[in-house]
Amino acid sequence: MTNRDRVPTGITGMDELISSGFSDRSVNVVSGPAGSGKSLMSMHYIYNGAAKYGDTGIYLTLEENRENIVKAMTSYGMDIERLEDEKKFYLLDMSAIRRKCSEDMEEDMVGFQALQKLLENLLNYSGAKRLAVDSLTAIGLYYNEASGILRRELFRFGAFLKEKNVTSLLITESLENGELTRYGIEQFVGDSFITMGLEEMKGELRRTITVRKMRFTKHDTAKHPLLITPQGMQISPEAKVF
């Protein structure tokens, strides 16, 4: 079981950057471009919680379908079907609902209020200690950003998660113009904000990770190299990228 002051990710090299893990019951936002590894990070976080630390977890996907998630996790040696049988891992696939809904229906089905009601029931039923939402970008598409509704609903959702006995990882995307998050507000919801990069260095694309903010925690602030190996994600806490 985990020390409930800290919730370790179990990712090689990651917990060394954040004082052994996320703060218990915190909301943590991870942002990066396509291909940077942010979804894999959330998969590791939920799987490792169940497999290594005895924490039941929920992985909520709004973009990739169940088949692709299972295929990806299995390729890195994560036996999620066994954990599902043991009721330690819940894979909630909302992508199929999004594809079947009209635009008018979609916010009612997968907007923040709908997801909050769904999670309220599932968290109570499962006793889950960990949650990953992949991604905020998919939810935010159905709100009028200019109206302020997205900001209001996102902050309400964050407050809801903080009231629950769950440590959350929320995924969003960064933009090519240098904006760190898709909507410019996600980083303010989180108790921590982690950015992942995909940068060209010496003719090759290199993945990086930086802990930009983490409340209640002494944390590393340097940019570090990140590798994706046959065993999954690995971070080099002793190495820095300049």
Q: What is the pLDDT of residues 156-175, one digit of tens each?
A: 999 999 999 999 999 999 99
State the pLDDT at residue 104.
54
DSSP SS3 for 147: helix
Check pLDDT > 70 for residue 105. Answer: no
Beta strands in the chain (DSSP E): 6-7, 22-23, 27-32, 57-61, 89-93, 130-134, 167-173, 192-201, 204-214, 223-229, 232-235
Q: How far is CA 11 from the centre of its chain?
A: 13
Confidence of residue 144 (pLDDT cuts 50, 70, 90): confident
Choose which CATH entry (3.40.50.300, 3.40.462.40, 3.40.640.10, 3.30.930.10) describes domain 6-235.
Answer: 3.40.50.300
pLDDT band at residue 103 using 50, 70 and 90 as cut-offs = low
- pLDDT at res. 98: 67
pLDDT confidence tier of residue 141, bands split at 50, 70 and 90:
confident
The sign one gets for the Cα dihedral 51, 56, 60, 66 is positive
Question: Where exactly are the structural domains of the chain?
Answer: 6-235
- pLDDT for the residue 216: 85
CA distance 182 to 137: 7
Quickly state the pLDDT bin for 201 (edges 50, 70, 90): confident
The predicted structure's pLDDT at residue 142: 83
Mean pLDDT of the chain: 92
Confidence grade of residue 108 (pLDDT, cut at 50, 70, 90): low
**Per-residue pLDDT at 1:** 43
One-letter amino acid at 12 equals T
